[in-house]
């Protein structure tokens, strides 16, 4: 009798994240300050994050996305700027406990490797955590921005005290993060929590990922702008067109938001449709995960805030969970600083 080959385990069985520096690192850093770094395609921002999640001493510089070593230099430059500012501030502790970095995925959080993000073409299988760890002789942890922001909300934000947190950032795309039992859920290879690419309408438009009708292609900022634009092309009368500073320029989700605030009917329709798409999506999330709280952040979150009650009211139509009304749907605590806070939270997990 031959036995089946054992399933391969890509990572250590205890599921612990590796940590990257010259020496082993085991403490939780629970009472130390951390430098949180938010790496994006066009900029890299960093700040000092206190044990209670307060951010200070922020710096930001342009990111060099097309070259590996210049990109790394941008990251180390902004970290150095925060460290120097901290050292010069007599009110702050002299030493920093670690560096957390959030970067666009796909990446491998356990090995600390940035794999092949579309908006950072200079980094291909780039060992970011090891490189930064070597530069500063400090523990370094990395993860993608959705996971990191979810952890920050669970640790210090509106999900504080909750064991299971579902987080969505709605902006130019839709990213998600999942904290289960207080820890980021990564899945088998670290590629879990791509909730923005769950299809909710297979007759829907094609998403940038190649699939049809993902929630991202229906409810992100560009999707809101596109649906408003389509209604106006059909001859609907709307003040959205007057929001354009340059006549004839493209409609943006910000214009839809401003028109809604001024009472525009088409803008309201577009945002109500968006709320319905999100209710369908979140109903599925509730049925799969039944989290303690669902948190909405990102650049479009402010515009959707007047609709959160409406979304909550519609979720029971799209969920079999008889107690789904008990799950709060809340605006995120962290706004543009979610990346810095989330990066630092990685070091406290
Ligand atoms: Zn997609």
Q: How far is the CA of 175 from the centre of ligand 1 (A)?
A: 10
Q: At what angle do helices 221-233 and 265-289 cross, to 10 degrees?
A: 140
Domain contains 28: no
Could you tell me which of 117, 219, 227, 118 has the C-alpha nearest to residue 174? Answer: 219
Q: Is residue 21 part of a domain?
A: no
Same domain, 136 and 182: no
The helix or strand, by DSSP H or E, that contains position 60, with its residue range, turns out to be strand 55-62
What is the C-alpha separation between 262 and 267, in angstroms, rounded? 9
Indicate if 204 and 139 belong to the same structural domain.
Answer: no
* Shared-domain flag, residues 108 and 183: no
Return d(Cα 255, Cα 292) in angstroms, integer: 34
CATH of the domain at 205: 3.30.420.40
Residue 2 lies in a domain: no
- 199 and 307 fall within a common domain: yes
Neighbours of 117 (CB within 10 A): 21
How remote is the CA of residue 308 from the centroid of ligand 1, in Å?
Answer: 23
Is 38 within a domain? yes
In a domain, 127, yes or no: yes
- Core vs surface per residue 32-62: b (16+ CB within 10 A) or e: bbbbbbbbbeeebbbbbbeeebebebbbeee
13 Cα: distance to centroid of ligand 1 (angstroms): 31
**Domain assignment of residue 6, yes or no:** no
Query: How would you write the pLDDT of the chain (349 residues) with one tens digit per residue?
Result: 444 444 333 333 333 433 344 333 334 455 799 999 999 999 999 999 999 999 999 999 999 999 999 999 999 999 999 999 998 888 887 789 999 999 998 999 999 999 999 899 999 999 999 999 999 999 999 999 999 999 999 999 999 999 999 999 999 999 999 999 999 999 998 889 999 999 999 999 999 999 999 999 999 999 999 999 999 999 999 999 888 878 778 999 999 999 999 999 999 999 999 999 999 999 999 999 999 999 999 999 999 999 999 999 999 999 999 999 999 999 999 999 999 999 999 999 8
How many residues are given for the chain? Answer: 349
Ligand 1: distance of its center to the CA of 286 in Å?
A: 20
Residue carrying the six token digits 């612990």:
16
Does 315 reside within a domain?
yes
**Do residues 325 and 342 share a domain?**
no
Q: Which two tokens stand for residue 341?
A: 């806070």
Peptide bond into 261 cis (omega under 30): no
DSSP 268: H
* Domain annotation covers residue 27: no
Asked if residue 272 and residue 224 are part of one domain, the reply reads: yes
Total domain count for the chain?
A: 2
- Boundaries of domain holding 222: 165-331
DSSP 48: E
Residues 231 and 152 in one domain: no
User: Is there a single domain that holds both residue 200 and residue 267?
Assistant: yes
Task: Identify whether residues 254 and 288 lie together within a single domain.
Answer: yes
Domain match, 307 and 177 both = yes
322 shares a domain with 204: yes
Q: Report the first-to-last Cα separation within the chain, whole angstroms.
A: 44
What is the Å distance from ligand 1's center to 197 Cα?
A: 4
Is residue 130 domain-shared with residue 173, that is, in the same domain?
no
* C-alpha 281 to ligand 1 mean position (Å): 13
Would you call 348 exposed, middle or buried from its count of C-beta atoms within 10 A (0-12, 13-18, 19+)? buried
Question: Rounded to an integer, what is the distance from CA 83 to the centroid of its chain?
Answer: 25
């Amino acid at each position: 009798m031959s036995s089946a080959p054992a399933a391969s385990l890509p990572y250590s069985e205890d599921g612990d994240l590796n940590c990257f520096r010259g020496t082993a690192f085991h403490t939780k850093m629970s009472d130390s300050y951390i430098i949180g770094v938010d790496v994006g395609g066009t900029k890299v921002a960093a700040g000092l994050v206190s044990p209670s999640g307060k951010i200070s001493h922020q710096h930001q510089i342009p990111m060099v996305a097309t070259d590996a070593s210049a990109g790394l230099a941008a990251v180390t430059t902004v970290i150095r700027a925060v460290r120097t500012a901290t050292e010069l501030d007599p009110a702050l502790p002299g030493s920093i406990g670690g560096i957390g970095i959030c970067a666009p995925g796909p990446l491998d959080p356990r090995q600390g490797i940035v794999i092949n993000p579309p908006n950072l073409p200079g980094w291909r299988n780039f060992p970011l955590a090891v490189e930064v760890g070597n530069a500063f002789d400090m523990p370094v942890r990395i993860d993608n921005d959705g996971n990191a922001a979810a952890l920050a909300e669970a640790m210090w934000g509106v999900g504080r005290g909750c064991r299971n947190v579902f987080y969505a950032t709605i902006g130019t795309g839709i990213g998600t993060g999942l904290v289960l039992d207080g820890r980021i859920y990564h899945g088998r290879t670290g590629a879990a929590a791509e909730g923005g690419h769950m299809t909710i309408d297979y007759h829907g438009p094609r998403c940038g990922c190649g699939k049809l009708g993902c929630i991202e292609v229906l409810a992100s900022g560009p999707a809101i702008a596109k649906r408003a634009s389509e209604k106006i092309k059909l001859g609907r009368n709307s003040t959205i067109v007057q929001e354009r500073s340059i006549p004839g320029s493209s409609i943006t989700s910000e214009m839809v938001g401003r028109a809604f605030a001024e009472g525009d009917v088409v803008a309201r329709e577009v945002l109500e449709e968006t709320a319905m798409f999100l209710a369908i999506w979140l109903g599925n999330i509730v049925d799969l995960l039944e989290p303690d709280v669902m948190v909405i952040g990102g650049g479009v979150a402010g515009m959707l805030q007047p609709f959160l009650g409406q979304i909550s009211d519609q979720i029971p139509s799209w969920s079999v969970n008889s107690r789904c009304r008990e799950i709060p749907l809340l605006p995120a605590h962290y706004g543009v600083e979610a990346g810095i806070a989330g990066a630092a939270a990685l070091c406290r997990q």
